[in-house]
Structure 1
């Protein structure tokens, strides 16, 4: 079965708690996010809640993407003293329901004591029509999202 894992990673000169707050303030995505222009979910977000994303591709086209939050791990310090957080959601559109394209996006934060916050995101795509999901354009969107997240968090820090 075809698999794709478009991803992006960036260092953010802001505390992890600030980056996390920006990520969870889905009502404000339209103010700063060039890739996910709108994200609608209940506030505060919770595991099991639907989240509807309006995704804007580099060519200007937009797509509505129904998702469901599957992981929401608020900032916590692990045994190595690294602060971490995680937000994940799974795609629930018709292609997923038909087993043609499945996707789960993970957004991970990590911050060593005194260091920058590392933001990493990856979409784990699988299914016979993975190519139609456009892994390259998703990776481009993730890069734009990461850069805008950095700008937003650093401006608030």
Structure 2
């Protein structure tokens, strides 16, 4: 199976609890989030949610991933599939690392696999990755300005 992964990280001068509060405030995503335009549904492990993304300079899409992990102040992870498994699967993860000094490292990543990955790799490594970076920067700005 063909795979690729996008990884981003940003240091935020705020505690994980503050970063988490912004990350899970899904109702406000349309107001500030440059990448994930909306996230709806009951977010808990095993549930399906509805996510609308809009990568920079690319077509947006809406999909219905399944929540794999939702651990307060630590991790939020889901898996989405195009049609069915093996075509184009994406496992998205937000991880908050408490650096123990009042700062948090936000890691946002996604592992893609499936037969369409080679055809979408350029877009993933450019537009999608830029979307991750823009979202990370906005979370940093919001968290640091609330202190």
Aligned pair in 2 of structure 1 residues 5, 87: CA closer, same or farther (>3 Å)?
Answer: same
Q: Give the distance between the partners of 2:63 and 2:108, measured in 1 at CA.
A: 17
Q: Give the distance between the partners of 2:27 and 2:46, measured in 1 at CA.
A: 18
Q: Give the distance between the partners of 2:26 and 2:114, measured in 1 at CA.
A: 29
Residue 114, structure 1, aligned to residue 101, structure 2: yes
Q: Give the distance between the partners of 1:50 and 1:125, measured in 2 at CA.
A: 19
Q: Give the distance between the partners of 2:99 and 2:11, measured in 1 at CA.
A: 12
Give structure 2 stretches of 5+ with no counterpart: none
TM-score by length of 2: 0.89
In the alignment of these two chains, the number of paired residues is: 144
The answer (yes or no) to whether the contact 1:66–1:93 under 8 Å persists in 2 is no
The answer (yes or no) to whether the contact 1:53–1:65 under 8 Å persists in 2 is yes
Tell me the residue number matched to 2:23.
Answer: 23
The answer (yes or no) to whether the contact 2:94–2:106 under 8 Å persists in 1 is yes
The answer (yes or no) to whether the contact 1:32–1:152 under 8 Å persists in 2 is no
- Cα shift at 1:73: 1.4
Tell me the residue number matched to 2:137.
Answer: 147
Give structure 1 stretches of 5+ with no counterpart: 76-84
Choose the corresponding residue for 2:81, options 92, 117, 120.
92
TM-score by length of 1: 0.84
2:86 alignment partner, SS class:
coil
